[in-house]
Amino acid sequence: MRDSSKTKTQLIRELNDLRDRLKDQKEKTARLEKIEKVLFEIEEQYLKLFNSSLDAVMTLAPPTWHFTSGNARILDIFKVESEEEFTSLGPWEISPERQPDGQLSMEKARKMIALAMEKGSHFFEWTHKRKSGELFPASVLLTRINLENKTFLQATVRDLSELKEEREKLIIFKNAVEFSHDAIGMSTPEGKHWYQNLAFDQLFGKIDENPQDSVYVDRKVGNEVFKTIMNGNPWVGEVKLYGKNKEILDILLQAYPIEDISGNIITLVGVHSNITEQKKAENALRESQARFKSVTKNMMFVMVYQVMVDPEGNRKFTYVSDNIEQTNEVSAEAVLNDPMVLYKQIPPDYIDDLMKAEQAAIEKMTPFHYTIPFRLPSGKNRWFQLASIPHPLQDGSIVWDGVQIDITEQKEIQKALQAQKDFTANILEGTNAGIWQWDIREGKTTINERWANIIGYTLEELSPVDSSTLDRFIHPEDAIQTKTMLENHIRGDSEYYNVVFRLAHKNGGYVWVNSRGKIIERDQNGNPVRMSGTHIDITDRMVAEEELKKTRNYIQNIIDSMPSMLIGVTDQGIINQWNREAEKRFGIISKDACGRSVTDILPHFSNELQRIKESIQKQEILINPKERYLKKKY
C-alpha cells in the first residue's frame, strides 16, 4: 500500500538509480572480462616461457617441498623418464648426499628454501645429480610465488658443466702464463702496463705504466716497439732492458697485439726471454774461437794452401802444407798433381754456391770466407772454414792464398747452441711447455700431451695419470731433492716450486726437466687444495753447456801441450795466458803469473812493451821484437 502511495517523482528517481546501478554493473563486468583476458594471455605467455626455457624450471610446494611440476628441460638435465617421475622427488633426491662444503644436501636444501620464502627469492650454486648418478654443477634461483591464496616456490636450474670446464681451461691457461719461464707483460691498447707474471716480477720487478720510458735502455727502441704493436703489427727482435736492480739485460722480445672478433685491439702482449747468459756464452765462445785460431796457426788441423785459377777457369794448387794428410787424408803431392783429389771431397750440392762466393770475392777483390763440409776418403764428414785473399796476375789469372781450418767441433757447439735457441723459441710460443695440475685433496693429477711428449710418450700411453706418475720416471738421484723442494713449498716455506731433475725417457735415456709451479688454491684453514705448474725440457741446454766446457778444456789442453812457451798479454801489458812450458821455463805457475805485468817477470821486454801494445791494438803479428812487423788481415 505504501509503494502505491509513492509519488511519481519518487518512482522516477528510483528508476534512474536502478538504471545507473545496472550501467555500473555492466562496466564492472566488462572490466572483469578484460582482466580475465589479460590474465589468460599472461598465463599463456608464462606457460610458453616455462616450457621453452633452456633452463630446467620447476615448482615445489610445502609442506613436503616435493616438486609439483616441471618443464620439458628437466628431462634433458636430470635424465628422468617423465614429469610424473620427477614430481615424485624432492630437491635432495636429485642431489648427492653432501654438498662440496660438507653439509647434508637435505639440510642445506631446506635452508635455501627457508631463505627464499623469507626474502622472496634466493640465488645460489648447487651440485645436482642426474638419474644416472652423474654429478654436475648448477646455479639455482628460488622465487616465492603467491597465487590463489597459495604460496609455493619456482626453481630455475641452470647446468654449469660446460661453464665449469671453460673456467678450468681458463685457470690452466692463466697458470701456464703465470708460471711461464718467460717474462710476460700486458698493456692496454693505449700502451699502459697492467699485467706481469711471476717471471716478469723476478726479472724486472714492479714497473710503472709506461714501460717504454722506464724499462728500455734506448727509449727510441721502446717507442718503436709500442708504435708497431699499437698499429696492429707484431714486433720480434733483441733489445736491451733494465733489470730489477737496474742491470742491463739482453732480451729476446716477441711483442704482438691481441684483437677481439671485430678486429679491435684489446690488449698488447710482450714475451721476454732473458738471453743475457746466452749472449755471454756466445761472446765467450767467439773469444775462444779467436784464441783457438791464433794458437793453432801451425797446428795439425790447419792446412795452408795456394791455388791458381787461369782465365779459362782451370785450377791448379801451387802449394799445400804437408799436414793435409791429417786434415784431408790425402797427400800434398797428390793434390799438387791433380786438384780434383781435393775438390771431389766437396759435396756436389755445395759446388755452385762455392763458385758464386769466389766470384763475388774476385769482383770486389775482397777476402773470401766460406764454411763447407768435406767427405774424407775414410767416409768421415768434416767441416772446414776456408779463408783466403784473391790476388790478380797480369795474365788474368787469380791466385788465392788461404787456409783451411777444421771447425767440426765448432759446428757441433753451434748445433748445440742452436738447439738451445730452438728451445727458447718454443717457450715463446707458450704452448710447448708441459702443463700439470695436482688436486692435492683428491690425489688426482692432470697433465697435457706435451708433458708426455717430453719423455717420449703420448698422453694415452701414460694414462691413467696420478700423483705417482712423476715418481715412476724421476732419476733416483733427483727424487729426494725434488720431494724436499715440493714439501717446502706446500708448507709455505717458498713462494713457488722451482726444481731441475732428470726423467727417464722412453728411448732408455734421461732428459733434463725444469719444473715450476705454485699452490693456486687453499681451503678456509689454509690447507693446500690444488697446485699447478709447467715442465720445460732443458736437455739441449745442459748438453750445450757440457759441450762448451769440453771445448774450453780442449783449447786449454792444446795450449798447455805446446812444446814452446805461450804467453798472452793484454794491450796494457798484463799477462792473461801462461802455458805449462812457461811454467817450466820460469818456475812460476799460471795462477801466479796471470794478472801481473809482463815486465815484472820478463824485464828485458820493458823497452819493447810499447811496440807489443801497438801490435795488439793493430792486430799485427810481432814475430820478434827485433824484427819488423809481419802484417796479416783477418
Residue 354 and residue 318 share a domain = yes
One domain for residues 534 and 422: yes
Q: Which of 190-204, 347-361, 416-430, 607-621 has the lowest mean pLDDT?
A: 416-430
Same domain (yes/no): 421, 531: yes
My answer on whether 383 and 432 are in the same domain is no
- The answer on 272 and 318 residing in a single domain is no
Residue pair 103/117 in contact (Cβ under 8 Å)? The answer is no
353 burial via Cβ count (<10 Å: 0-12, 13-18, 19+): exposed
Give residue 109's pLDDT band: very low, low, confident or very high (50, 70, 90). Answer: very high
Is residue 366 included in any domain, yes or no?
yes
pLDDT in tens, 142-198: 999 887 788 999 999 988 888 787 778 878 888 888 888 899 999 999 989 999 999
Q: Is residue 41 part of a domain?
A: no
The DSSP element (H or E) to which 471 belongs, if any, is helix 469-473
Q: Does one domain contain both 143 and 182? A: no
Mean pLDDT of the chain: 84
Give the single-character DSSP code of 579.
Answer: -
pLDDT score for 373: 93
- Whether 412 maps to a domain, the answer reads no
Specify if 549 maps to a domain: no
Answer whether residue 121 is part of any domain: yes
The domain total for the chain is 5
The model's pLDDT over 185-234, given as tens digits with 9 standing for 90+, comes to 999 999 899 999 999 999 999 888 888 888 999 999 999 999 999 999 99
pLDDT (0 to 100) of residue 633: 27
539 shares its domain with 582: no
Helical pair 276-295 and 408-428, crossing angle rounded to 10 deg: 170
**Same structural domain for residues 525 and 421?**
yes
Instruction: Give 634's pLDDT tier (boundaries 50, 70, 90).
Output: very low
> Could you say which of 543, 571, 589 is where a domain stops?
543
What b-and-e string marks burial along 496-515, b requiring 16 or more CB atoms within 10 Å of the CB?
Answer: ebbbbbbbbeeeeebbbbbb
**The domain containing residue 151 runs over which residues?**
53-158
Whether residues 254 and 216 share a domain: the answer is yes
* Domain of residue 368, CATH code: 3.30.450.20
Query: Which one-letter DSSP state was computed for residue 463?
Result: P
Going along 336-439, which residue ranges are E strands?
Answer: 368-375, 381-392, 398-406, 434-439
Q: Which of these three, 406, 430, 458, is where a domain ends?
A: 406
| Cβ atoms of 68 and 60 closer than 8 Å | yes
Residue 202 falls in which region: left (phi positive, over 0), alpha (psi -120 to 50) or beta: alpha
CA angle 121, 127, 128 (to 5 degrees): 90
Domain membership of residue 29 (yes or no) is no
Q: Is 52 helix (H, G, I), strand (E, B) or coil?
A: helix
Cα dihedral sign, 210-214-219-224? negative
CA atoms of 499 and 482, how far apart (whole Å): 6
In a domain, 45, yes or no: no
Say if residues 320 and 332 touch (Cβ distance below 8 Å).
Answer: yes
Does residue 618 share a domain with residue 573?
yes
Neighbour order of strands in the sheet with 315-320: 315-320, 302-309, 398-406, 381-392, 368-375
Residue 398 domain-assigned (yes or no): yes
* Domain shared by 425 and 530, yes or no: yes
Which of 158, 178, 213 terminates a domain? The answer is 158
Q: At what angle do helices 539-561 and 276-295 cross, to 10 degrees?
A: 30
**Better pLDDT: 30 or 149:** 149
CB neighbour list of residue 368: distance below 8 Å, 6 or more residues apart: 357, 358, 361, 386, 387, 388, 389, 390, 400, 402
pLDDT of residue 293: 43
For helices 539-561 and 408-428, what crossing angle results, to 10°?
160
The answer to whether residues 235 and 256 touch, using CB atoms and an 8 Å cutoff, is: yes
* Residues 499 and 584 occupy one common structural domain: no
